[in-house]
Chain A
Amino acid sequence: MGREAIEVVKLSKKYLTKKRKGLLRSEELVIEALRGITFTVNYGEVVGLLGPNGAGKTTTIKILSTLLLPDSGEVRIGGFDVVKEASKVRKLIGVMLSVEKGFYGKLTGRENLIYFGSLYGLSGAELKRRVDEMMELVGLKELEAEDKLYEEYSTGMKARLSLARALLKDPPVLLLDEPTLGLDPMSARKVRDLVKSLAFREGKAIIYTTHNMFEAELVCDKILLINKGLIVASGTPEELKKKVSDIKTVILQVRKGTGNLNAFLSKLTDITIGNIVTEELDVNYIEIKFNVRAAEELLDTIIRLLTTEGLSMSSFKVVEPTLEDVFIYFAEGKTS
């Protein structure tokens, strides 16, 4: 515990892609997927990679899984370089890249695990024992799904099988790319609980990518917010929230038809951070939600604006930002 399992230093990756210009012509485009990111993951720790689509999360996971060569930088897993010592790294990692695919449809869940177990170097009684243990651990035995064909599996079962494969050779490092994507709440909870216990009880180092803030807060000991190939903020969920502690969310309820709402919203944009969200609560009330810095100091300004535009306020709340607010704040390009 506490030792570094994964060490990433100034990792960069560019992709070359083509922009089509008609049937025959195309233009080459360079996409900077990663721009020199640096971080470490210790044994017994779950580190969340959070970011919008195209932020560089999957690229990072692919490089760590030895499935993509970086342009520059250094990545070491268990002390081994992922490029120069890929075969040693492969013995240390368990990978879950996609919930929906990655197995053979005409084989049962158990047969699929036996097949991949053989590729991972397991054989005989040991292979059988590990397959049984993993089926039990991820709950497929309980669902009586071990001997069902993979093509008949539900998404939840597929996710569990995928996690079982990642754990099959009992690797000290787990790389999980959106492991709960598309799962029902029960299956998602099962996966989350498993991940937490694997880090806590077995001391595994886990990288966990997700879009789900609630999930990240529940599962991760540390979060790396990644945007446009850069880590824009990092820390525990609490530390991240503190980074935006001067930002507060204001929730107002106003009576419909009592004044000029559009003029109020327009003037409000001068003092808010990010978007203003309005929602009709019922036939009489509208809720207006926005983020501001130093909410207490702006209270007078907001009330004055309401009065000027003739709006009648029924409630006023100032709340702490959620992790989602932190995510949106940094995803909009602000760096810590």
Chain B
Amino acid sequence: MNILSLIKSEMLLVYGELMRRKQVLFTYIAYPYIMTFFIIFVGSSVGSLENFEARVGSNPFLFFIAASFNFLVILGIVDDVLWSPIYDDNIGTLPYILSSNTSWFLRLLTIPIPRLVLTIILGFTSLVPLFTYLEGFEGLLTSLLIMGLAGLAGLLLSTFAVLIACSVSILMGESWRLLNIIRPLMMILLGVFYPRVFMPFAVRLISYLLPSSHVIDLMIYTLVGEGTPEILTVLTLFGAGTALAVMYGPLSYGSVKSLETKKLREGIKT
């Protein structure tokens, strides 16, 4: 089957589930605001907004709403890829998915796309209003750029997320509890809230291996107000992220095949 009709069918599934659970949709809209105000509230108790701006070089409201938005994008990818096989196993749809003519690998890659598109569009309810209010037309352009970069960061994470999801399932079995370990780890390593430049060297090395971390780095450049990054820096970061995402492709394909074989040997739960 072609990838477009697969994305179309995944859209039907994700939007059907999301639009009919209004509280989930509301959470999606409110999440960046809640996270931003929570961080600023906690941060203000130990420091000041001015101090943050002086040290980081960015308005804390703008920095954290962008980081929270990014967090939501990454979370969507990680959750969709890691959660989907567990969810399908539990509700009994997995046997029908595996016995269809569609490649499981392709499906795992396309699963996060509908939610990613929706999350990016929801940037118009969080990033755009705040950036435009605080920085005018320039803020509007920055917020659109961040939305684009967040989308790219999400897409580049797909192959790595599939590799992690399948490897963890092969080695440790499937459990939603693993999500609770993988989520914060990813957030730290990707540098969403904590720019890579401040990371200890060893952690920074691991971070370099994550395709999306390079795009998030570029986003941090845009946010911290050092001016437009040099074209070479932009190309290097884009290139590194894309190259890593492509490199993880065959590995993640292999991991899906191994997981499929493991499941077929044990028998798919019906």
Contact = CB atoms under 8 A, between A and B. Distances in A.
Interface residues of A, number: 36
The B interface is mostly helix, strand or loop, or mixed, namely helix
A118 B8 contact: yes
Interface string B1-45: 100011011001100110011000000000000000000000000
A43 B10 CA distance: 35
Interface stretch (A60-68, A218-226, A255-263, A290-298): A60-68
A104 B17 contact: yes
Interface stretch (A85-93, A188-196, A197-205, A304-312): A85-93
Contacts of A67: 95, 98-99, 264, 267-268, 270
B201 interface: no
A115 to B, nearest CB: 5
Contact of A104 (B8, B13, B102, B107): B13
B100 interface: yes
A68 B268 contact: yes
Given A59-B267, A111-B16, A115-B13, A102 B102 contact: no
Contact of B268 (A62, A119, A177): A62
Contacts of B13: 104, 107, 115
Chain B CB within 10 Å, residue with most, of A100, A104, A165, A177: A104
Contact of A98 (B9, B21, B270): B270
Interface in B99-125: 99-102, 107
Given A67-B95, A95-B95, A165-B96, A119 B12 contact: no
Given A90-B100, A119-B102, A102 B9 contact: no
A115 B13 CA distance: 7
B55 interface: no
Nearest 5 pairs of A and B residues by beta carbon = A118-B9, A101-B92, A119-B100, A102-B92, A97-B270
B12 A97 contact: no
Contacts of B270: 58, 62, 67, 97-98, 177
Given A68-B264, A118-B6, A103 B95 contact: no
B23 to A, nearest CB: 13
Contacts, number: 101
A106 B16 contact: yes
B110 to A, nearest CB: 11
Contact of A93 (B1, B9, B98, B99): B99
Contacts of B16: 104, 106-107, 111
B200 to A, nearest CB: 38
Contact of A102 (B6, B96, B101): B96
Interface of A: 15, 58-59, 62, 65-69, 87, 90-91, 93, 95, 97-98, 100-107, 111, 114-116, 118-121, 123, 149, 165, 177
The residue in A103, A106, A111, A119 that gathers the most chain B C-beta atoms within 10 A of its C-beta is A119
Contacts of B99: 65-67, 90, 93, 95
Given A120-B100, A177-B270, 6 more contacts: A90-B99, A104-B17, A106-B17, A115-B9, A121-B1, A123-B5
Given A62-B268, A115-B13, A123-B5, A106 B100 contact: no
A97 B101 CA distance: 17
B12 A107 contact: yes
A59 B270 CA distance: 10
7 contacts: A62-B267, A95-B99, A102-B95, A104-B93, A106-B16, A115-B13, A119-B96
B14 to A, nearest CB: 10
Given A102-B92, A107-B12, A114-B9, A119 B97 contact: yes
